[in-house]
Amino acid sequence: MKKHTYVEIVTIGDEILYGQITDTNSQWIGQELNKLGFKVIRKTSIGDTKEEILTILDEAQKRADIILITGGLGPTKDDITKKTIAEYFNVGMTFRQEVFDNIAELFKTRNRALTDLNRQQAEVPENGEVIMNPVGTAPGMWFEQGNKTFVSMPGVPYEMKRLMSDSILGKLQSKYDTPFIVHKMLRTMGIPESLLADQIEEWEDALPEFIGLAYLPRFGQVRLRLTAVGDNKEVLDNAIEAQVEKLRPLLGDNLFAEDDVEIEQMIMNKMIEKGVTLATAESCTGGAIAKRITTLSGCSAFYKGGIVSYSNEVKMTQLDVQGETLLEHGAVSEETALQMANNVREKYKTDYGIATTGIAGPGGGTKDKPVGTVWVALSTAEKTEAKLLQLTKTREVNIYATGNTILKWLYDEI
């Protein structure tokens, strides 16, 4: 097999260590590199100090072939990555006219005046190759030292992504020849990790050496990841597929979805293909389902909209839930869920209506209806049905798991 190309990702910024931002950059970079067969062996976050930056650059290049660095390229004094990289390579800085022109152009579009700080953003370590940034003022930089590559990118996620997609990934691919890494993801629901492991133990033990298995639990789902590594993609694909064929019957009804595509994306594909439409009525999920759907570009082709009915009054006036239903059975009840799903479908004139009502927590639980009690309902022209869920004590888990359950149910019904 070809030699692995090892990558380390270094994210720089005190705000990461203080926990003031979520580092989503390293996740995205990991995903993209993985698709191309690069092996990320470590991710490190450090603060904006010269010593830390110098140390990690030196450590990382001992372990990895490629070191990808994000952050610390802003125009302000607290950002010191660029000059520290120059110090690491023991070179000076040079002014790059093309970078300055790009900054000037960006400021013109935004009707802003340039400052001296922006001029400094056009200075780059002498040995660096500039990677132009069409969406921001800080350029990317590419450095080579022996067979090692260092790339420095801005920390703003959409700028970093643009630089990676437009040029860096391509340049890395031309420079390094890597084996293929093929993943297959299967999502299960409704079975704990330990039971699942028992259920598929024999199959797991018989896996060939070059295929690895991982269990990834999350919000009531367990995802199974098969990973195969080798030089021939077709061989890997076939080997994985052969294993998945043996695995499917062992998972039975607990198999939720294949491949790591979000359920809302699967629904979108199926609904557009069938030319059907959807509306949502959300109480306890409070717009979280609508948000998941509308995060998808192109969703207006099947999603007409929805109602977030947080109060009983809104359930009555906007969703025509009967006052006596709320009095007799309460807002968190099968009857209310059924009316919500049916009525939103009728009001929005869609083929499918889905509804959620429950106690997300942490407050609001009673003895009869503790936190985590949730009703979900699904309505079509033919039928309207509801299901009771008993979830957890944790608000965010309940909101997410409720969404997963009703979306999975919807997907199966389309």
Contacts (CB under 8 A) with its own copies, residues 213-252: 213-218, 223, 225, 227
> What secondary structure letter does DSSP report for 333?
S
Contacts to its own copies from residues 162-181, by CB under 8 A:
none
Of 23 and 351, the one with the shorter C-beta distance to its own copies is: 23
Q: Look at the alpha carbons of 66, 72, 75, 77 in this order and tell me if their dihedral is positive or negative.
A: negative
For position 366 contacting its own copies by CB under 8 A, the verdict is no
| Distance separating alpha carbons of residues 354 and 406, to the nearest angstrom | 7
Structure tokens at 280: 């949502």
> Under DSSP, is residue 275 helix (H, G, I), strand (E, B) or coil?
coil
Of 170 and 212, the one with the shorter C-beta distance to its own copies is: 212
Size of the site for its own copies (CB under 8 A): 112
Using the contact rule CB under 8 A, the part of the chain among 32-40, 90-98, 122-130, 250-258 near its own copies is 32-40
Shortest separation between residue 127's beta carbon and its own copies, angstroms: 26
Other beta carbons within 10 angstroms of residue 378's beta carbon come to 23
Using the contact rule CB under 8 A, the part of the chain among 31-39, 249-257, 261-269, 373-381 near its own copies is 31-39
For position 397 contacting its own copies by CB under 8 A, the verdict is yes
Rounded to a whole number of angstroms, the distance between the first and last alpha carbons of the chain is 44
Could you say which of 94, 165, 317, 366 contacts its own copies (CB under 8 A)?
317
Could you say which of 347, 369, 389, 409 contacts its own copies (CB under 8 A)?
347
For position 208 contacting its own copies by CB under 8 A, the verdict is no
Burial class (CB in 10 A: 0-12, 13-18, 19+), 22: exposed
For position 294 contacting its own copies by CB under 8 A, the verdict is yes
Contact 136, 122 (CB under 8 A): no
Shortest separation between residue 25's beta carbon and its own copies, angstroms: 10
CA neighbor of 412 nearest in space, from 375, 376, 378, 373:
378
| Distance separating alpha carbons of residues 358 and 99, to the nearest angstrom | 54
Using the contact rule CB under 8 A, the part of the chain among 114-122, 125-133, 141-149, 380-388 near its own copies is 114-122
| Distance separating alpha carbons of residues 124 and 82, to the nearest angstrom | 7
